[in-house]
Chains A and B, each alone.
Chain A
Amino acid sequence: MTANIAILDEFERRRFMTRAAGALLGVGVGPYVSTAAAKPLLPTRPHTAESIIYLNMAGGMSHIDTFDMKPSRSDIQGPIDSIPSSLTGVVVSEHLPQMARLLDKTCLVRSLNSDQGVHYSAYYYMHTSYHLQGTLRHPHFGAWMMRLLGKKNSRLPGNIQVLGGSRQINHGFMEPRYGPLKISDPDAGLPNSKPLPGVTGEAHQRRVALANLADRAFRQQFPHRQVRAFMDTYAEAVELMKSSDLEAFDISKEPAAHQDRYGEAKFGKGCLLARRLVERGVRFVEVTLDGWDTHLFNFETTPKLSRILDRALAALLQDLESRGMLETTLVVLATEFGRTPKIDGHTKGRGHWPQAYTCLLAGGGIRGGQIYGQTDEQGGKVTDNLVTVTDFNATLAYALGLPLDHELSSPASQPFRVADKGQPVRALF
């Protein structure tokens, strides 16, 4: 290669350098796993939702600056204005104009109440329905769905997280294959899903076979769960490489105008990806929008995030509706806690506030156009129809027809349920 560079003239050498510097960066396998659609383990009750799109507002979305405005208290509200919505008498933040118009399609739950005020524990509680313990990892809601319902489309993973971090909330004590597949960039889709250049499908299969043979002695000597889990994942990945549904991961296949509606931000693109995946039968897609932890600069950051959210969520709801997917898709907007009514004069921020916060539900059989629960004048205390975290998750499970009282045991023989002892809020349906 060096010899060739010497021949190129100065101009071409520079071209070459810049381009080069810009870079880095199936057949049946063993009998260890079947990737056919797992049959649902239990009979399900009549329900409409088959999939969930879970929009995770990470950091603690300030309810007072978004969906639970307190315009009568300027000391609490701060500089963000309220605008009317399509629900009479209901106002939302001025930075959520599209959602204001679409509010009658959704159900706002303003009475969430949690006992966890620290990020990780609160996040854990919201996603697993159990409190963080030192000795055990509980499964994520998505893992429960996979375990209880199985895949809808056997050729795609059923549990996908877009833009989430590497937090260890995944399959918990269940098998790793129920855990989420993480997509770190919606624009990049599912990277490395095709064999290397110059490697045909057949050549790839031969390599896979050679690897399995080479590994036989090791696998016999070490029949550990961890090792088997890897074998399962390899098998699933090899199958996925051959799946025609892989293009679900490619949002560039959407018409440009349509992509535009979701906005420029990664979160919006993640929502578009979620729609594509659910359209192809993926059960659970979680898309994260991070940055809501506004101890500092709440009134700069919250509006910015609100606008990103507004555009993406409105586009998603309208998209699902126009495709007739709204009944079968439960859309959840959730956060781990709210923020303090009192504004910190020093930092112009709000701290954590788990005592009262807001989540939003749409589609999946939810009766739109209602506000469930309310908080007091300051937005600090729930005054009506309190909804605990487990109740909230039970509501999601109920929408999907998951059995709420079915118990699964951890290796230490402790029984757990999809939403612990939570009771679904039937009024929302």
Chain B
Amino acid sequence: MIGLALTRTPVQVPIHVPRVDSVSRRLVTVAAGIASESLLLLLYWFGPVAQAQLPAAPSDQAAADATGRDQAADSIRSATIDQFIEAAHAAAGRQPNPIVDDATFLRRVYLDIVGRIPTFGEAQQFLDSSATDKRQALVDHLLASPGYPLHQFSYWANLLRAKSKMPGGPSDFYTAWIKQNIRENTPYDRWVREMLAARGYIWSTPATGYFQRDQGMPLDNMANTVQVFLGTRLECAQCHNHPSEAWTQHDFYRTAAYRNHLSTVFYHQGQWPAMQQILDERGASKEVRIWASRTFAFLKRRVYDAGRQLRLPDDYADDDAMPGQVVEPATIYGQAACSESTCDRQQSFAEWLASPSNPYFTKVIANRMWKRVMGRGLIEPVDDMNRSTTASHPELLHFLERLMVDSQYNLKRFQRVLYNTRTYQRAVCSMDLTGAVRYGFPGPLLKQMTAEQLWDSLMTLMAPDIDLRQSERFRKLPFLRENFSAYEQATPAELVDASYQAEEVRRLHNETHEKLFELEKRIAAADKSGDAELLRQLRAKVVRLEQFRDHEIPVRIDGGTFRYRTQQEFHQATGFKPAADQPPADSYWSDPQRNWCVRAAELSSPADPHHPLRTFGQSDREQIDNGSSGPTIPLVLTLMNGEVFQKLIHSESVLMRNVHAAPTTSDLVDVLYLTLLSRLPSKDEAKLMATAQRNADEPQRAIEDITWALINTQEFLFIR
């Protein structure tokens, strides 16, 4: 039950100090006194950290992450970052903000790393603990937890505009692959290279989803690539020279020439002519022909080298080339790639872009990750860099870039260094930032929860083990992969057979549906006339028909018409089954009717248009990073009056279960505050809620009133 050892008065928290050995501590202190950023850099390179051997690219990332030597090295790095920031403050005669208390740290770090508020149990555990390194331990725990990939997925889906429904076919393969990379902590440079170098079908090479996303628009794909990975906006250069920058239209085309030869639609006829012949021979109906065309459509969608040449547009105006002239690929900076005609342009480009020797590649990811943690980049905006862009802390950014390269683009490791700084643990900035001011990071910035963080936090209040709940769309993937791979091997005759089967399934479903509809009408009539015997017979017929529909009609697996199982078998095969070593499934929450209760990363990307996630401002994944934050009337109405709240106060929600387990009425106020705001109420707040409880008609109503009130505060919505 709840730990009543928690006190209301703010506890003096041991401030987290990174473990630093005495030698480096002295060196670092000396450097701080001199307040020179360059000296700090020298110390980093010639001091103890440099002498500690960095691990070679490990095959087991997890094991490497856990070594004690890594921890010491990372601690020094965190301290170094702090010295950069604090030296700048000292030089300006300013104080950075104080370190936040445990409750503030708890909620902030959960939302930042795993994208949801902590559960009541998690909050209790952390706040009760007296371990001196508990903050560092929590950071490690969260980075390794299943919530981490679910949170990071939304971030990358926003940047990559990854959608569950893309023209390239079943794109869940792509979104699942992104999540898998995050989960396994694949080095960032490796999976970027994979995306850029991928060819083939999306079910066997999910990385092709990256190019499939921009089907028919290879120039846009290139502009997006440069924006996301190289932090430069080139899309204007599709049409004309950039008014004030060095990139010309020709530069853009030269870059685009590395990938323009790729296509996403395989126009070759393949099995289609043979299929058409068989359809004709069998006198296939229009419906069967439509199925055949749909089935074959999947085989047309793959990324391959179509050998297309890129030509300058007809209205090309500059003197250095003719309109319509063929463009040869050339890199806009750095080393040349692909100078021989026999080279693989796609591969060369991938290697040129996702490389430590590409000056922008590392800068961009380091800056993005810094912004992710601290709330603002050292360069803003993060994707509009040009040759005159300067960072607010140039030496610090340089340090971060070296850190990224030295960590071999291990994003978890990079983030751990940042999360363990004092800078991260300081109170948020209490003023608004205006325009393009140089922000000195006295602390992170106050942020509103993203749409996904808000939804995920609400879901945390509903079902236990929210991070472990997987939706059906991803459970189906192995079956879909089997299905589509079978397509690749199928003969035209087999594909036509599949089309006939698909039509048969559709016909059976329609027929059954119509019969059921008729029976419903007759039941209503029998009910009215009071004929009990007829009613019983009719109901029995309905049950038999529904069983036929569920158990005997083959099911059409989404998008695939080739292989069938019945509805029943399919649900059993793809149903949620907890692993042997996991706690037994909660019977209420493991019921398929509760399938809606999953985190945003498990739903379609983006969520359906009417899903609360969209109302909360989730990106529609049509533009890079275009989620909207900020208050809107629909968001506020949803929080106040939406169905989500009704589900929240349902007796089976985790929130309500915890509340009802509280021994006294004042304890339950503590539970509500701890669960919703991750802290205990102040004396005034406790008094306020006690009054609210007295004024309510009955205890359950009081609980609902207080829950409603806390959900609808700005404190709930913002991350401090």
Contact = CB atoms under 8 A, between A and B. Distances in A.
A binds B: yes
Contacts of B684: 217
B238 A233 contact: no
B109 interface: no
Given A166-B614, A222-B446, A215 B628 contact: no
Contact of B632 (A179, A210, A355): A179
Contacts of A214: 685, 688-689, 709-710, 713, 715
Interface residues of A, number: 81
Contacts of B615: 184, 191
Given A17-B593, A192-B634, A215-B714, A166 B626 contact: yes
A192 B642 contact: yes
27 contacts: A11-B542, A117-B238, A118-B220, A118-B223, A118-B236, A118-B238, A120-B623, A134-B383, A166-B626, A167-B620, A185-B610, A191-B638, A195-B640, A217-B685, A218-B718, A219-B714, A222-B446, A226-B448, A226-B630, A227-B446, A230-B631, A230-B714, A233-B631, A234-B631, A237-B640, A241-B641, A412-B436
A211 B709 contact: yes
Nearest to A118: B235
A88 B65 CA distance: 77
Contacts of B720: 222
Interface string A223-245: 11111011111101110110000
B239 A354 contact: yes
Nearest to B652: A1
Interface stretch (B41-49, B427-435, B659-667): B427-435
A295 B543 contact: no
Nearest to A58: B622
Given A207-B709, A217-B682, A295-B216, A226 B718 contact: yes
Contacts of A304: none
Nearest to B539: A11
Contacts of A231: 714
B633 A237 contact: yes
Contacts of A179: 630, 632
A340 to B, nearest CB: 9
Contacts of A182: 632, 634
Contacts of A219: 714
Given A211-B708, A233-B636, A196 B641 contact: yes
A21 interface: yes
Interface of A: 9-11, 14, 17, 20-21, 23-25, 115-118, 120-121, 134-135, 157, 165-168, 170, 176, 179, 181-185, 188, 190-197, 203-204, 206-208, 210-211, 213-215, 217-219, 221-227, 229-234, 236-238, 240-241, 295-296, 346-347, 349, 354-355, 410-412
A135 B714 contact: no
Contacts of A207: 705, 708-709, 712
Interface in B231-259: 233, 235-236, 238-240
A10 B633 contact: no
Given A121-B235, A185-B610, A229-B630, A295 B682 contact: no
Given A20-B593, A196-B646, A166 B638 contact: no
B435 A181 contact: no
Contacts of B709: 207, 210-211, 214
B581 interface: no
Contacts of A206: 695, 705
Nearest to A122: B239
A174 to B, nearest CB: 12
Contacts of B380: 135
A195 B710 CA distance: 17
Given A20-B593, A167-B623, A226-B718, 20 more contacts: A11-B539, A21-B592, A25-B612, A25-B643, A118-B223, A166-B618, A181-B633, A184-B610, A184-B615, A192-B640, A196-B641, A206-B695, A211-B709, A214-B710, A214-B715, A217-B682, A218-B713, A222-B428, A229-B630, A234-B631
Nearest to A180: B632
With a 10 A CB-CB cut-off, give which of A118, A166, A355 has the most chain B CB atoms: A166
Contact of B634 (A121, A190, A194, A210): A190
Contacts of A181: 632-634
Interface string B418-432: 000000000010111
B432 A24 contact: no
A222 B430 contact: yes
B712 A121 contact: no
Nearest to A194: B641
Interface in B670-714: 682, 684-685, 688-689, 692, 695, 705-706, 708-710, 712-714
A134 B692 contact: no
A218 B543 CA distance: 57
A410 B436 CA distance: 12
What are the nearest 4 A-B pairs in CB distance? A134-B384, A233-B631, A412-B435, A215-B713
B239 A115 contact: yes
B121 interface: no
B440 interface: no
A195 B641 contact: yes
Interface string B430-461: 11101110000000001010000000000000
B611 interface: yes
B586 interface: no
Interface in B150-165: none
B714 A167 contact: no
With a 10 A CB-CB cut-off, give which of B267, B610, B631, B705 has the most chain A CB atoms: B631
Nearest to B535: A11
A184 B684 CA distance: 41
A188 B617 CA distance: 18
